[in-house]
Amino acid sequence: MSKALLDIKNLHAEIEDEGKAILKGLNLTVNAGEIHAIMGPNGAGKSTLASVVSGKDGYEVTQGTVEMDGQDLLDLDPDERAKEGLFLAFQYPVEIPGVSNINFLRTALNEIKEYRKEDPISAKDFMALVREKSKLVELDSKLASRSVNEGFSGGEKKRNEIFQMAMLDPKVAILDETDSGLDIDALRIVAAGVNKLKNENNAVILITHYQRLLDYIVPDYVHVLADGKIVKTGDKTLALELEEKGYDWLTEEKTV
Partner 1 sequence: MTLVLSKKMDTFLSELTVPSNEIQSNIIEQLKGMDFPTSRDEYWKYTRVGKISNTKFSNTTAPSNEIDVAAHLVSDNYIVIENGTIRTELSQTNSDFAINYKDATEVNHLVNLDNNNVFTAINSGLFKEAISISISANQAIEKPLQLVFVSTGESNIANNRILVEAGKSSSASVIISNISNKANNCFNNTIIEASVAENAHLTLHKIQNESATNLSVSTEQVRQAKNSTFKINTFTLTGLLVRNNINIAVEGENCETYMNGAIVSAGKQHVDNHTFVDHQVPNCYSNENYKYVMDDQSTGVFNGRVIVQKDAQVINAYQNNGNILLSDNASINSKPELEIYADDVKCSHGSTTGQLDEMALFYLQARGISRENAKKLLVSAFIGEVISATNDDTVIELIQQLLSNEYGWEFA
The binding site for partner 1 (CB under 8 A) comprises 54-57, 77-79, 81-83, 87-88, 90, 93-94, 96-100, 103-109, 111-112, 115, 147-148, 164, 168
Closest approach, Cβ 157 to partner 1, in A, equals: 11
Q: What are phi and psi of 106, to 5 degrees?
A: -65, -40
Report in angstroms the alpha-carbon separations of 21 from 52, 55, 135. 12, 17, 42
* Under 8 Å between Cβ of 174 and 54: yes
Give residue 225's region: left, alpha or beta (phi > 0; psi -120 to 50): beta
Closest approach, Cβ 93 to partner 1, in A, equals: 7
Closest approach, Cβ 117 to partner 1, in A, equals: 14
Closest approach, Cβ 30 to partner 1, in A, equals: 18
Q: Select 41 or 78, whichever has its Cβ closest to partner 1.
A: 78
> DSSP H helical segments within 26-122, as ranges?
46-54, 78-84, 101-115
Give the max Cα distance, the chain: 62
Q: Cβ atoms within 10 A of the Cβ of 51, count?
A: 22
d(CA 197, CA 183): 21
Q: Select 31 or 147, whichever has its Cβ closest to partner 1.
A: 147
Q: Select 174 or 189, whichever has its Cβ closest to partner 1.
A: 174
Closest approach, Cβ 218 to partner 1, in A, equals: 26
Closest approach, Cβ 164 to partner 1, in A, equals: 6
* Under 8 Å between Cβ of 193 and 108: no
Q: Select 105 or 222, whichever has its Cβ closest to partner 1.
A: 105
Q: Sign of torsion, CA 52 64 23 218?
A: positive
Q: Select 160 or 211, whichever has its Cβ closest to partner 1.
A: 160
Q: Coil, strand, or helix at residue 170?
A: coil
Q: Select 79 or 183, whichever has its Cβ closest to partner 1.
A: 79
> DSSP H helical segments within 86-152, as ranges?
101-115, 123-136, 141-145
Q: Select 142 or 184, whichever has its Cβ closest to partner 1.
A: 142
Closest approach, Cβ 246 to partner 1, in A, equals: 32
